[in-house]
Structure 1
Amino acid sequence: MKVFAPLFSLLALLSLSFSANAQKDLSYYLPANVIYNQNIPTPKSVIGHEVGEWHITHDKLVLYMRTLAEASDRITIEEIGLTHEGRPQLMLTITHPNNQAGIEKIRTDHVWLTYPNESDKFDIKKMPAVISMGFSIHGNESSGSNAAMLVAYYMAAAQGPEIENALRNTVVLLDPSLNPDGLNRFSTWANTHKSKNINPDPNDREYNEVWPGARTNHYWFDLNRDWLPVQQPESQNRVAKYHLWKPNVFTDHHEMGTNSTFFFQPGVPARTHPLTPKGNQELTEKIGQFHAEALDNIGSLYFTKEGYDDFYYGKGSTFPDINGGIGILFEQASSRGHAQESDNGILEFPFTIKNQFTTALSTWKAAVDMRVELLDYQRDFYKRVLRDADNDDIKAYIFKAEKDPARSYHLADILDQQEVDFYRPSRKLKFNNEEYTPENSYIIPLKQRNYKLIKGMFEKRTTFEDSLFYDISGWTYPLAFDLEYSELSSRDYGRNQLGDKVMKPQFPKGSVIGGQSNYAYAFEWHGYYAPRAANRLLEKGIRIKVATSKFGDGKDLNFDYGTILVPVSNQKLSASELYIEMQTIANTDGIDVYAMNTGLTEGVSLGSNAFINIDKPEVALVVESGSSADAGEIWHLLDTRMNMRVTKLPADRLGSSAINRYNTIVITGGVNLSESGMENLKQWIRNGGTLVASNSSSTAWAARNKLTQLKFVDVEQYTGEKITYDQISNFQRGQSIPGGVYMSELELSHPMAYGYYNKELPTMRRGNLMIEASEDKFSNPGLYTEDPLRSGWINKPNLEALKGTSTIRVGAFGQGRIVSLVDNPNFRAFWYGTNKLMMNAIFFGRIVNSSAAK
């Protein structure tokens, strides 16, 4: 989350001096006049220090939560999954012991409220509300996870009628660390640099993490953008548990900049997604009154209804809003260590923890007092969606990827994880000149309980009440996956079109067509995992070639640009061993492989120079400079999907001979190189290396350093003559493209477009950098169309300027090539449609003809 910072309580502001070593015990945090069960272990008795004295490490956090669960009959604990680094994700279920005894029935009864035709059978006046609390999804926003110990202790140990009533009338699902890998990375940093005499100087190393920081998970993904696409295991595990319970309220505990105060939702009213019911924001505001009272009582300043929004449904505080619940974002000013100077005095870590703890309890109190109202809202939400579906002009979506079933499978897998009902078509259907079959297509009827979630994923939206967004403004999933799809109206759609319901999508299996060959094999580059197949062969020392022209057998087989040819003769493997490899590729990568028994083919023959040898990619990804998020997406793509080795190369190594072992270097931003270092990189490119600039900032860096000859579009923006002083910041933000879906057009014969079979390619664009198109069309194999906007917000000057500009540029530099990808092709790991651009740059950048690279 973005950063600001909270004020100290009045007493803290008036203190005459800062006692750096004064430690806070439990009495600092816990409500007064409450008796605590002495048999319940305190945090210090287990972890060895007071809460806030050190930043909690994940292992100690897990130890405390497990110890607490053993000691309390109010708590059960389960491991809901593992992170990339093998750390456990925990879920504590906290409620009255009597509820624990019948917890499964409580859960199933609660979930029945989300089934419109069944929900009236349940008496909500007798049902507990379900509150889910999630802490520190950003690892270096650790006050949340440290507060989680206090929340769990309080709920386990506090005694009295009020506590008993709260426990009887609620079920609390507590996730103490939404990002275990990031939390552990940050706690190690902060604890490693803590001094005995705490130094609050913001310049101290304790408060300045090195790249990439600990905000993200193992692959440097922002997990708070992954609730909807669920591409990371932490998200998949968490969302599965979310849907298993469908909580009424979810609290999302974050931190912001050191010089702010404390924020709680609602956010800016005009920036709420239109699919979110008005009642959601009314309830959010009503719950906010409980936070205000609690923070007033401890003297903490706060703000609400500004700065943040409820628009992008991939965030933890907004995802519940499309699922019948109330998402609540808390933003606490961050000490980023143990104590730091701020505009509001010295901000101590314990104070940040106290605010998080206080608002967790105020949420619990609100849920108890508003229990029936929250349950009624949830039931009504799901009843209304059926009426909304009836009133929607669109009745269903149907989609496929004709030549790449893996892409459509991956979207189907997301739908499955989000509990969307979808089917195979019952028969062959045709819409908008596309034929959809039961074998290659999926159809989603909108009249179902997750209607709004489906709309949130599939809709194209270009009109908005407000032009400012905290995150992206458009994310249409079938466009992100570059699928063929249709929106079906009532004239197009009937229930009899629904075939078998898909219970669990199955990864597509290819086959080796024609059996074993003694001559050659061919597979097209259309498949999402074709690069993985090619790399598998190259890793085994098998020679492969790529077709730069189309060819066929003169009968049924026609092979597209980019087809991979695998000769059988003169290989390291025997014909039978090579056949086994082809079978593995077909089964593992979902690709059809064709046995070729003659080189005499239509178009070009198999021995033609139109087939170019492909070298094994030796890839270095520049790190410690540029965008860690973009770099993480590339690392994740190559490592986890394509099974390719990639070296994470520190930026300062670009000036050394170390780069000579690589044939491809990928950058995600500017790199500060000395004159000699830049010359070293230039010589590497001249000698035949491929430099891939993977977003707008790296594209601009390459141009500034004379590696490319690009001309940038200068957009004449609005003048702002009529705005007032307090509107300056928002006005300037309104001149930027916040992130949306835009249509480009590819030159399909170009190596950068190999594997694409439709000219139009939707891209995710963020930011204002635009490149003038080259007069040589082959230098820019990707251009924005004359009507590029598909989903998202953009102002008129930027939209007009964007038309016809380059999305891809390839330049020659000596014997080498520089590929500039203006838009990030790997956006948040769910933009499957443009991932192939990155893979093409890596595999084929070197073969682009120099006359087509200017």
Structure 2
Amino acid sequence: MKKLFSVFILLLSLTLQAQLKSPAEFLPNYGKQVTYYYQLESYFAQLVQNSDYIQHKPYGQTSEGRGLNTYYISTPQNLKDLENIRQNHLYQAGLSDSKPAATSDKAIIWLSFNVHGNEPAAAESAMNVAFELINPDNAATKEWLQNTIVIIDPCLNPDGFSRYGNWLRTVSGKDTHPGLNDREHMEPWPGGRQNHYAYDLNRDWAWQVQPETRQRMLLYNDWMPMVHVDVHEMGYDEPYFFPPPAEPMHDFITQSQKDFHTAIGEMTAKKFDAQGWSYYTREVFDLFYPSYGDTYPTFNGAVGMTYEQGGIGAGRAVQMSNGGILTLQDRITHHTTAVLTAVETTAWQKDKLIKNFRAYFKDSREHPKGKYETYIVKNSGKNEELAKLLTRNKIQFAYANETKKLSGYSYQADKDKDFTLEPNDLIVSANQPKAVLTQVLFEPVQHLSDSLSYDITAWALPHAFGVESYAVKRAIQVSTKKEVSYKGKFEYERVYAYYVPWNGRASARVLSLLHKNKINVRSATKAALYRGIKVSPGDLVILKGDNPNLTEFEQTMNVMLEGKRDFEIIESGFAVSGADLGAESYPLLKAPKVLLLSGSDVSATDFGQAWFYMDEIIDYPVSIVDIQNLKRVEFSEFNTIILADGWYDFSDTEKMQLDTFINNGGKVIAIGSALNIFEDRTGYSLTKFAEETGKVTEKELDDKESLDARFFTTESMLRRGLSGSVSGAIVENVIDASNPLCYGLGSSYFSMKTSSASYQLLKGVQNAIYIPAKYKSFGFIGSNLKKRLENTVTFAVEQKGSGQVIYMVDNPLFRGFWENGNLLFSNALFLVH
């Protein structure tokens, strides 16, 4: 009987092997045409069905309803013990207190493909990598899997991948067209790089603004791999890139992580050398900004790596500058070789990786890498979103439960100060498992070893959230609690009005909900006091007398405000101090009717940030119209137009339509390069130089730079050019607290500056937020630009006719994580009138 059973198992195994198909066997035109996303999922389903070396783990859905999937690949024995292996891995690194059943140590590597949708060779190669790992005829990979758990996410951005692939198939004929003039090399707006909301998901790992990232990071933080490979494509004419990475590298990156980069580079180079494939290392792709698919894992103990294959714009095949033809199959082959080498190196260095991973967390807890050990964020309405961000990243925090005098570095003042810790202040200690990530996100200044950075160079959360914050060099002993304590509501005999503080995203969502339900709302423009309730400019008041049609006013309002726990009830409109509720300092707010322009003249990413803000951050209706259809728009249906950063080429007629819209009471919010529409135009005050002396000074500086450049070497030209640039730095701004654009922002505003554009303080407008002389800044700003930014406006409001133009030199919606910017934009949308 036992013999018959063994024969049966052997036959079953052979049957499964016979059914297991490679991508080329399963998919028509694999390597010749981009795969539909449903086909990719079907391919992995057949792998799972026909092999006991792979398991499927779905982890969510995209905004467009496509599945997000991971696959665990290892030996059948390891997969049966998978949960024990995971728990043991976390426990041994000090990331979990739950001691699992005894099991052997395994190296864990996570492979991420296609975070950018129009880099299809990444997802295509994921299928090939998975097949080779479980292919019964590949003895080498079976040996690797004995001590390795491989987690594959074949497509991080299914919506973008589908947008690109569906377009490419639509425009493709039977023959390939390697020449660049064919339409398959000219991807239309908005392109497939970004997700549904046109966000770049590879900048979202730490911030987790987008649904794909949030869902993925829940699973990632449950596993915390030792190695993470992020698979990309770049311009089609580029050789292949693999580690080691370029400078600047963040100071907190360990020597053991760098050593693995070198090992992987040497191993991969041997494989590419044998094939004669071109490649490079140590250039362009740095490890500094913390929200990439290589840096975020690195700051979480892994060896994070970027792999880049030339291919963007290549379509199915493209002629390169060297005369060669690069095909989709070439790109798949290169990626497959490189990624499998990463798995091989992980298996080979298993013991060292495990040892280094555990040491990483032990060392970071016992010997914090940063200057400060405790971060304190004063109690604010914005802390609710900050707490959510910390929770998503599994960064531990607590709230103060006592009052204590302390001294520390003030983020806002950029110097040491005495301050008082009070109940409900948020406390983050560096003495925790996520110590390194905590310090990366909170350290006031990040050391930049090289100014040639690939991305922004400053991101401190206290500046992003605009909350009074302090960093203390030592651990502090203080009583804490897990949640904020809210004081009870004041007792009242009758409801005269509801009061809602304007102090964060939740306030804007409440106002959005009230407007959508046609409930009249007022906003305070001056401070006042009503029996224990201190009203500040921007705070909302909903008067019962303003809403006579609400027969169940109290019950309705309690439902509307259940997401805003700090609201209060006012029982009399008579003020203890300041103006009564019937005064003109409580104007009635007009519900915005919003038009957002899209299309090829608009930056897809910046458009997406505005769209996501409207759709998801405040949940408010917005009409989106492509610029090419602008002539068909009935402007009287709207009172607010959002112009995201872009290269608008309006005709004179369209500009006149915009002028009429504004003069008749409309509001235009113009961001970044959209300001060019109004610059130096008759009837508007926007000009680069407010006075002739500024223009003369600028010319003198330009002339001096030109003269100095005569002595530059060719090698130094690139770096000299940086003197007039900024890739992304935090800049201090003075605010006009009495201007509605500034309500709730705090005593100052720190802006994320990603452009060298500047305008001297404007005449005839409200310079609501501007960069003062001798301003504070964090991150890299070129030496020439730094001086020119003094006394330049960042956000201004110009009254024109019955309407307004709000000029936004910087984008307050940058990547969605600049929380004080979200509030500033809410001010522009709802409160400026």
Question: TM-score surpassing 0.5?
Answer: yes
Kindly report which structure 2 residues correspond to 1:519-598, keeping only aligned pairs within 5 A, or say none.
Answer: 519-553=496-530, 555-569=531-545, 571-574=547-550, 577-598=552-573
User: Which of 497, 512, 521 matches 2:478?
Assistant: 497
The answer to whether the 8 A contact 2:678-2:686 is kept is no
Q: Secondary structure at the match of 1:90?
A: strand
1:74 match = 53
1:342 match = 320
Relative to 1, partners in 2 of residues 1:184 and 1:704: Cα closer, same or farther, differing over 3 Å?
farther
Counterparts of 2:101 and 2:781 in 1: how far apart (Å)? 46
1:748 match = 737
User: Which of 373, 376, 398 matches 2:355?
Assistant: 376
Counterparts of 2:681 and 2:350 in 1: how far apart (Å)? 61
Displacement after TM superposition at 1:828 (Å): 0.9
Q: Secondary structure at the match of 2:831?
A: helix
Relative to 1, partners in 2 of residues 1:130 and 1:559: Cα closer, same or farther, differing over 3 Å?
same
Q: Please list every run of 5 or more consecutive structure 2 residues that lacks an aligned counterpart in the other structure.
A: 1-15, 407-416, 690-697
Displacement after TM superposition at 1:373 (Å): 2.1
Post-superposition Cα deviations, 1:471-516, rounded to whole Å, max 9, x if no partner, equal 10000012101112211233xx43x31524x4xx78x989865558
Counterparts of 2:577 and 2:100 in 1: how far apart (Å)? 68
The answer to whether the 8 A contact 1:736-1:768 is kept is yes
The answer on 1:284 being equivalent to 2:268 is: no
The answer on 1:425 being equivalent to 2:400 is: yes
1:602 match = 577
The answer on 1:464 being equivalent to 2:452 is: no
Q: Secondary structure at the match of 2:176?
A: coil
Counterparts of 2:365 and 2:546 in 1: how far apart (Å)? 64
Instruction: Give the percent of matched residue pairs that are identical in Structure 1 and Structure 2.
Output: 26
Post-superposition Cα deviations, 1:329-376, rounded to whole Å, max 9, x if no partner, equal 111111541112221322211111111111111111111222222222
Post-superposition Cα deviations, 1:49-70, rounded to whole Å, max 9, x if no partner, equal 1322221121111111122111
2:779 match = 792
Post-superposition Cα deviations, 1:301-328, rounded to whole Å, max 9, x if no partner, equal 1111112211111000111211111111
Counterpart amino acid of 1:593? E
The answer on 1:224 being equivalent to 2:202 is: yes
The answer to whether the 8 A contact 1:626-1:671 is kept is yes
The answer on 1:699 being equivalent to 2:679 is: no
Counterparts of 2:277 and 2:284 in 1: how far apart (Å)? 18
Q: Please list every run of 5 or more consecutive structure 1 residues that lacks an aligned counterpart in the other structure.
A: 1-35, 848-854
2:434 match = 450
Query: Which stretch shows the higher mean deviation, 161-170 or 249-258?
Result: 161-170
Q: Secondary structure at the match of 1:603?
A: coil
User: Which of 450, 454, 466 matches 1:482?
Assistant: 466
Displacement after TM superposition at 1:75 (Å): 0.4
Counterpart amino acid of 2:212? E
Displacement after TM superposition at 1:73 (Å): 0.5
2:385 match = 410
Counterpart amino acid of 1:42? S
User: Which of 344, 355, 368 matches 2:334?
Assistant: 355
Counterparts of 1:282 and 1:769 in 2: how far apart (Å)? 41
User: Which of 691, 709, 713 matches 1:724?
Assistant: 713
Counterparts of 2:334 and 2:583 in 1: how far apart (Å)? 71
Kindly report which structure 2 residues correspond to 1:266-345, keeping only aligned pairs within 5 A, or say none.
Answer: 266-268=244-246, 270-334=247-311, 335-344=313-322, 345=324
2:414 match = none
Kindly report which structure 2 residues correspond to 1:743-782, keeping only aligned pairs within 5 A, or say none.
Answer: 743-756=732-745, 758-774=746-762, 779-782=766-769
Counterparts of 1:151 and 1:107 in 2: how far apart (Å)? 23
Return the TM-score normalized by structure 1: 0.88
Give the number of aligned pairs. Answer: 792
Post-superposition Cα deviations, 1:597-642, rounded to whole Å, max 9, x if no partner, equal 2345632222222322221100111111222212211111111121
Counterparts of 1:218 and 1:511 in 2: how far apart (Å)? 42
Counterpart amino acid of 1:263? F
Counterpart amino acid of 1:155? L
Counterparts of 1:376 and 1:721 in 2: how far apart (Å)? 54
User: Which of 170, 174, 177 matches 1:192?
Assistant: 170
Post-superposition Cα deviations, 1:22-48, rounded to whole Å, max 9, x if no partner, equal xxxxxxxxxxxxxx943312325544x
Relative to 1, partners in 2 of residues 1:681 and 1:265: Cα closer, same or farther, differing over 3 Å?
same
Counterpart amino acid of 1:296? D
Post-superposition Cα deviations, 1:161-200, rounded to whole Å, max 9, x if no partner, equal 4232111021100000011111111111111111112222
2:145 match = 167
The answer to whether the 8 A contact 2:132-2:138 is kept is no
Query: Which stretch shows the higher mean deviation, 235-244 or 66-75?
Result: 235-244
Relative to 1, partners in 2 of residues 1:570 and 1:612: Cα closer, same or farther, differing over 3 Å?
closer
Post-superposition Cα deviations, 1:455-482, rounded to whole Å, max 9, x if no partner, equal 1100122652211110100000121011
- Larger relative contact order (C-alpha < 8 A, sep ≥ 6)? 1
Relative to 1, partners in 2 of residues 1:117 and 1:215: Cα closer, same or farther, differing over 3 Å?
closer
Counterparts of 1:228 and 1:734 in 2: how far apart (Å)? 29
User: Which of 102, 124, 148 matches 2:126?
Assistant: 148
Relative to 1, partners in 2 of residues 1:538 and 1:164: Cα closer, same or farther, differing over 3 Å?
closer
Q: Secondary structure at the match of 2:376?
A: strand
User: Which of 686, 705, 713 matches 2:663?
Assistant: 686
Q: Secondary structure at the match of 2:611?
A: helix
The answer to whether the 8 A contact 2:370-2:443 is kept is no
Counterparts of 2:774 and 2:113 in 1: how far apart (Å)? 43
Post-superposition Cα deviations, 1:257-313, rounded to whole Å, max 9, x if no partner, equal 122121112222x31111111332221021111111122233321111112211111
Counterparts of 1:99 and 1:657 in 2: how far apart (Å)? 61
Query: Which stretch shows the higher mean deviation, 170-179 or 103-112?
Result: 103-112
Displacement after TM superposition at 1:654 (Å): 3.5
Relative to 1, partners in 2 of residues 1:590 and 1:706: Cα closer, same or farther, differing over 3 Å?
farther
Displacement after TM superposition at 1:426 (Å): 3.8
The answer to whether the 8 A contact 1:693-1:702 is kept is no
Relative to 1, partners in 2 of residues 1:395 and 1:738: Cα closer, same or farther, differing over 3 Å?
same
Kindly report which structure 2 residues correspond to 1:23-42, keeping only aligned pairs within 5 A, or say none.
Answer: 37-42=17-22
User: Which of 671, 685, 709 matches 2:685?
Assistant: 709
User: Which of 96, 103, 107 matches 1:129?
Assistant: 107
Query: Which stretch shows the higher mean deviation, 627-636 or 154-163?
Result: 154-163
Counterpart amino acid of 2:316? H
Counterparts of 2:489 and 2:572 in 1: how far apart (Å)? 13
CA RMSD of the aligned region, Å? 2.7
The answer to whether the 8 A contact 1:546-1:562 is kept is yes
Return the TM-score normalized by structure 2: 0.90
Displacement after TM superposition at 1:214 (Å): 0.9
Relative to 1, partners in 2 of residues 1:545 and 1:449: Cα closer, same or farther, differing over 3 Å?
closer
Q: Secondary structure at the match of 1:367?
A: helix
Relative to 1, partners in 2 of residues 1:481 and 1:527: Cα closer, same or farther, differing over 3 Å?
closer
Counterparts of 2:388 and 2:430 in 1: how far apart (Å)? 18
Relative to 1, partners in 2 of residues 1:153 and 1:161: Cα closer, same or farther, differing over 3 Å?
closer
1:16 match = none
Displacement after TM superposition at 1:84 (Å): 1.4
The answer to whether the 8 A contact 2:685-2:762 is kept is no
Counterparts of 1:219 and 1:827 in 2: how far apart (Å)? 13
Counterpart amino acid of 1:399? V
The answer on 1:53 being equivalent to 2:32 is: yes
Post-superposition Cα deviations, 1:684-729, rounded to whole Å, max 9, x if no partner, equal 11111111012x2122343155563223264837544553224433
The answer on 1:115 being equivalent to 2:94 is: yes
User: Which of 820, 833, 836 matches 2:823?
Assistant: 836
Q: Secondary structure at the match of 1:331?
A: strand
Counterparts of 1:794 and 1:521 in 2: how far apart (Å)? 46
Relative to 1, partners in 2 of residues 1:378 and 1:527: Cα closer, same or farther, differing over 3 Å?
closer
